[in-house]
Structure 1
Amino acid sequence: MSTAKISEPISGDKAYQIRARAALPLLVRQAKAGVPVFYSDLAEELGMPNPRNLNYVLGSIGQSLERLSKIWKVKVPPLQCLVINKNTGLPGEGIGWFLVKKEDFSALPLRQKRVIVEAELAHVFSFSRWDEVLKALSLEPVTCDFSPVLKKASEGYGAGESEDHKALKDYVACNPRVIGLSSNIPVGVTEYRLPSGDSLDVSFNSKAVWVAAEVKSAVSAESDIVRGLFQCVKYRAVMDAVLLAEARPQIARAILVLESTFPQSLIPLRNLLGIEVVDGITPQTSDREFDTVHSAQRIKKVELVSLV
C-alpha cells in the first residue's frame, strides 16, 4: 500500500511525524519563494541521511493538508509536490494519490504527469494562506535572513584565477561523470562566453540539456561560495534566455561544484535559491577513487524515482 495512504497526520510522536512537523515550515518557505526542492536537499536540511525516508514524511504532510481542507472547506494545495526528483523534475509516484485519486499516476505518460504537477505547483505558489496553515497546525514559520553573509560576499572578488581553480575547472570539464552528469554528455568547454558577457567556468552541451558548472577550489572562502550560488542563479536565467532566443529545446541547469565540503550553514540558502551543489570533487580523484571515497555523498544526492 502507498505510504501516502497509510501515513498519519503530523500530530503524533512517530519519527516521521516529528520530521513532518520540521519539514512543513521549510516547504512553506519554498512555496513563498516559488522554488521546488530536491529530495536529497530537503533530507540534508532535515538531517536525514537517507532521502528515501521522506516518503512517510511527505505522506504525513499530505494527509494533514487533506484533513485541513475538509475542516476549512477550502482546498489546500498539496504542498509536498514541491519536493522533486533530481532526474525527472517530478515528485515521486505517491503524490498521485493526492492529485488524481481515481487514476494511477504512475501509469500516466511523462508529459501528462508534468501537466498535472505543473498545474498543482501553480496552485501551491499562488496560495496565500500558508501562514494560516502553519498556525492551524501549531507550527512556526522559518525565518531566513542571510544579510550578513550576503554583505560579505558582495565586498569583493579577489584577484585573478588561481592555479587550484584552473586545475579543478579543467578536471571537471574532462570528467562530467564526477559531477553526476550522464556518461553520454561530451567533454565540457571551459570559459564559455554568454551573450551577457559572463563566462561559464565549464559548459556541457548535449541534445537534451545544457549544463553550466561554476567551480570553486578548496581555497574558496564561505563568501566566495555564496557568490557561486548567486552566479548559478544568474547563469541559469541567462541560459534560459539564450535557449528561448535561439529556439533550442534543451533544459538549462547550473551546478556549483566545490572541491571542499559545502557549509552546513548555507544549506537553507542553497535550497531557497534552488541551486544544485556537488561537493568534495578534487582533480586528483580517479573515477575508482571517486566511487569509493565519495559513495556516501553520492548516495545522499541520488534521487529515487519511487520516492513519494
Structure 2
Amino acid sequence: METASQCDNIFGNKLYQTRARSALPILVRQAGSGKPIYYEALAAELGMPNPRNLNYVLGSIGTTLNELSRKPGWGEIPHIQSLVINQHRRLPGQGFEGFLAERMGGYRKLSLAEKRAYLDAYWHEVYAYPYWAEVLDACKLAPATPVARGIIGRAKMGRGGGGGEGEEHRRLKDRVANSPNLLGLPSTARAIKEAPLPSGDRIDVLFEVGRRLVAVEVKSSISNDVDLTRGLFQCVKYHAVMEAERGVTGARHSIDVLLVIGRRLPASLRALQNSLGLEVVEITDLC
C-alpha cells in the first residue's frame, strides 16, 4: 500500500503529524534556497534518530497539500516533499510516486536518468511556486527559524575564528587524502592536496575519480562554530568557481564539494548546511 494513502493530514496529534508540522516550514525554506535535502539531513534537523520514519511525515505533508489544492482558489500545489531525496539514488522515496500517479502515471517505468531529469524539472516548479508563505498560513505554521545571522556576521568580519592551518588541520587533511573510502570514494581515487583554483584559492584535498571531481574543505576538531561557518561558505565558493572553470574550458566532469570536519556539526549550523545544500562528513576518531 502506498505511504500516501496511509497518512492523514498534518492536523492531528500522532507523532508523524507533529513532525510533519515541523518539517513543512523547513521544506519551504529549502524551496526558497532552491536546494533539495537528504533524508538524513532533514531527520537530523528534526531530531529524528531514524530517517526511515520520514515516510509517514512526508506522506502527511503530501496529503495536506492535496486537500488544500482541492479547496476553491488554490489550484494545484506542487509537492514540496519531492525535495527530500536519498543520498545514493538522489531521488525521493518510493512513497512519493503515489503523489505523482495522477500527474505522471508512467513515472515508475522511467529509467533512473529519466526520473532524475523529470524531478529536476518538477523541482523548478516547486522553487517557482509563489504561494508557499500562504500555504504555511493556511496550515497555521510559522516559517522555519532563520539561520543565525550573528554567527554569519562574525564570519564575515573575521571575528572569533579558530582552527587555522595547524597540526590538527594537517593531520585530518592527510587522513582524508589517504583514505578516500571515508567519503565513499574508491581506493583508486587520486588525491591532490592544496589543489589550486583560478580564483587563487586552494582546495585542501581534490579527488579525481574518472570524470568526477570531489573537492574537500577540511576543518579540524579545534575549529569553532564561526570557522565551520566559513568552511560551509568556502564550499559554496569552490563549487561556483569550479563550475565556472568547467564552463569556460568545455570540460565534462561532474563536480561535488564536501566539508569534512573533525567534530560533530553543531545543531545550530544544521539549518545553514541544509539551506546551502552541502554534504558534511564528520570524522571524530582521529588519534
Q: Which residue of 1 aligns with 2:178?
A: 174
Residue 50 (structure 1) shift: 0.7
Residue 198 (structure 1) shift: 0.9
Give % identity. Answer: 45
Question: Secondary structure of 1:235's partner?
Answer: helix
From 192, 197, 222, the counterpart of 1:194: 197
Q: Which residue of 1 aligns with 2:146?
A: 144
From 238, 248, 252, the counterpart of 1:235: 238
Q: Which residue of 1 aligns with 2:127?
A: 125
Q: Which residue of 2 aligns with 1:250?
A: 253
Q: What amino acid maps onto 1:109 in structure 2?
A: S
Distance 1:90 1:218, change over 3 A: same
Spell out, residue by residue over 1:162-189, the C-alpha distance to the aligned partner (whole angstroms, 9 max, x if none).
111111101101101113x232551411
* Matching of residues 152-301 of structure 1 within 5 Å: 152-156=154-158, 161-179=165-183, 181-183=184-186, 185-284=188-287
Distance, in Å, in 2 between the alignment partners of 1:253 and 1:50 is 26
The answer as to whether partners of 1:81 and 1:121 remain within 8 angstroms in 2 is yes
1:135 aligns with 2:142: no
Residue 104 (structure 1) shift: 5.2
Q: Which residue of 2 aligns with 1:287?
A: none
The answer as to whether partners of 1:257 and 1:281 remain within 8 angstroms in 2 is no
Question: Secondary structure of 2:12's partner?
Answer: coil
Q: Which residue of 2 aligns with 1:302?
A: none
Distance, in Å, in 2 between the alignment partners of 1:131 and 1:43 is 23
Spell out, residue by residue over 1:191-229, the C-alpha distance to the aligned partner (whole angstroms, 9 max, x if none).
000111111000011124211111011111111111000
Q: Flag structure 2 segments of 5+ consecutive residues without an equivalent.
A: none
Q: What amino acid maps onto 2:178 in structure 1?
A: C
The answer as to whether partners of 1:255 and 1:276 remain within 8 angstroms in 2 is yes
Q: What amino acid maps onto 2:275 in structure 1?
A: L
* Structure of greater relative contact order (alpha carbons < 8 Å, 6+ residues apart): 1
More moved, 213-222 vs 247-256: 247-256
Question: What TM-score, normalized by structure 1, do the two folds share?
Answer: 0.87
Distance 1:203 1:140, change over 3 A: same
Distance, in Å, in 1 between the alignment partners of 2:252 and 2:6 is 40
Q: Flag structure 1 segments of 5+ consecutive residues without an equivalent.
A: 285-308
Q: What amino acid maps onto 2:217 in structure 1?
A: E
Distance, in Å, in 2 between the alignment partners of 1:67 and 1:2 is 17
